[in-house]
Structures are given as structure tokens and as C-alpha cells.
Amino acid sequence: MSTIKVGTLLAADGTTTTQPSIPALDKRMAKAWVDYDQNANSVEASYNISSVTDVSTGIFRLNFATNMSSNRYVCAGMADDNRDLSIERGGGTLPTVSDVTIECRYTTTLDDQPQNTVVIFGS
């Protein structure tokens, strides 16, 4: 595996670039993601998640390490139990710049799961 380390990127004309050097790259990358075990109340892996709050059965809150610039972002996720499960933004609260509440359901019943994965895109 190779590693490239760069202090400054230059454009073809020799001028310096500003981050991101690829136009709109920041809009195409996840702002946060998490792999959360609600049964054990443990974060298995994450990016930009400072902590997870187990609110109640099937409901947990993702707390961002770095706030979003607005509450207009998209959450997508899945839960693992080989059943018809869904993850959705909810819990009776609107998303904020600092956190979002997630519900995990088996059909219509809120349900704790050992693997909840959520990814967040937006600003």
C-alpha cells in the first residue's frame, strides 16, 4: 500500500488551491456515520459521532462531534437481524445541528438491534 502526503496542492498554472480541491467534494461525502449496538449500548465504529444516547427501546440519539451547518440533512441506515427492519429519523423530535434521533422498527414495533448502521449526508 502506498501513502501520499502533501502539504500544498498546486493548480497547473502554479497557483495554490483551496480545500476541497475537487469542486463540491464536501457535498458528496458523508458528514457522519455510525455502527451502533443498542443491545450493548456501544459504538462499534463511527465518524463525527461524539456519543450515542440510548433513549428507549428502538430509539437512540446520535450526537455529532462537529455540528452540521443546518438541520437539513439526510439520514439513511439499516439494522441487522435478518427480519423486516427499518431505520428512520424520528423519535418524536426534529433533527438539530448537534444531534438526530433514530428509530429502529420491526414491522410497526420499536426494537433494539445489535447492529444499527446510519450514515448522514448534508451540510
| 94: three-class secondary structure by DSSP | coil
Q: Which domain holds residue 42?
A: 29-122
pLDDT digits (tens, 9 = 90+) for 61-115: 999 999 999 999 999 888 876 665 577 777 678 889 999 999 888 878 888 989 9
**What's the number of domains the chain is made of?**
1
Please report, to the nearest 10 degrees, the dihedral formed by the alpha carbons of residues 58, 59, 62, 63 taken in order: -140
Residue 18: which pLDDT band, with cuts at 50, 70 and 90?
Answer: low
Average pLDDT, rounded, for the chain: 84
Asked if residues 49 and 43 have their Cβ atoms less than 8 Å apart, the reply is yes
Q: Is the peptide bond before 20 cis (omega within 30 degrees of 0)?
A: yes
End-to-end CA distance of the chain: 32
Residue 74 lies in a domain: yes
Residue 8 lies in a domain: no
pLDDT in tens, 26-63: 677 899 999 999 999 999 999 999 999 999 999 999 99
What pLDDT, on a 0 to 100 scale, did the predictor assign at position 77? 87
E strand intervals along the chain = 32-37, 42-47, 49-56, 59-64, 73-79, 85-89, 99-106, 109-110, 116-122
Q: Is residue 107 part of a domain?
A: yes
Q: Is residue 53 part of a domain?
A: yes
The one-letter code for the residue type at 88 is: E
Q: Is residue 116 part of a domain?
A: yes
